[in-house]
Amino acid sequence: MDPHLLREYTGDKLGILDVKVKTKTEKTIDIEIQVKRRNALRERIVFSLSKMVTGQIGSGNDYSQIKRSISIFITDFVFVPENTNYQNRYTLYDPQTKSQFTNLLEVNILELPKLPPDDGTELWNWMKFLSANRKEELDMVAQKSPQVQKAVARLMELSNDERTRMLYESRQMMEWDNQVREQEVSNDRATAIAKSLLEMDLPIEKIVLATGLTREQVEALA
């Protein structure tokens, strides 16, 4: 499906999902991978899931046509520190009675750093496929699962495709550019704070601690 979450009103955010799938049973599934921790990720998941639900409603407002919306969020960092499980599944339910309100909304958090050596499940095979850094690791997990074996074969084909490689490199460059912009914004903010603290005659040592700038950078602003 089109991975863009369209705006309903002027000023709405335009969300973009990594993969958006509609199954034969009409479930809508959003699959996203995050390799870097960002601000308000939980809020972003709620936003995306909500848009997936409201996007199913046409002008007739027939709520009975709403089908299950499932978010699968894969991270390369610990996102749920409350436990050591590498899969956490969330639904709407009453925590006191344990009764489920509806199965229309579901969030699955999969954390690569929590992956155990092997638990014998198909989910583990796919997680290992995603986290593999060497061909030997891919070959190992391919031997465990026919489905993963197909994915590994396809990955090898794509790795030799020039257009795919160019798309990957372009996305990698965009990620680096975003990191540079974020660092520049952070540095600009720290510089502005340092200037204000200098005007208040705060000692340079305290300004360094407060802003993260080096002593030389602070002295250059004086």
Give the residue ranges of DSSP H helices in 86-203.
122-131, 135-144, 146-159, 162-199
Q: Which residue has the higher pLDDT, 1 or 127?
A: 127
Mean pLDDT of the chain: 83
Average pLDDT over residues 195-217: 85
Model confidence pLDDT, tens digit, residues 150-201: 988 888 877 776 666 676 666 667 777 777 777 777 788 888 888 888 888 8
Say how many residues make up the chain: 222
* pLDDT per residue as tens digits for the range 45-99: 998 898 888 888 865 667 888 899 999 999 999 999 999 999 999 999 999 999 9
Q: Judge whether 218 and 207 are in contact, CB under 8 Å.
A: yes
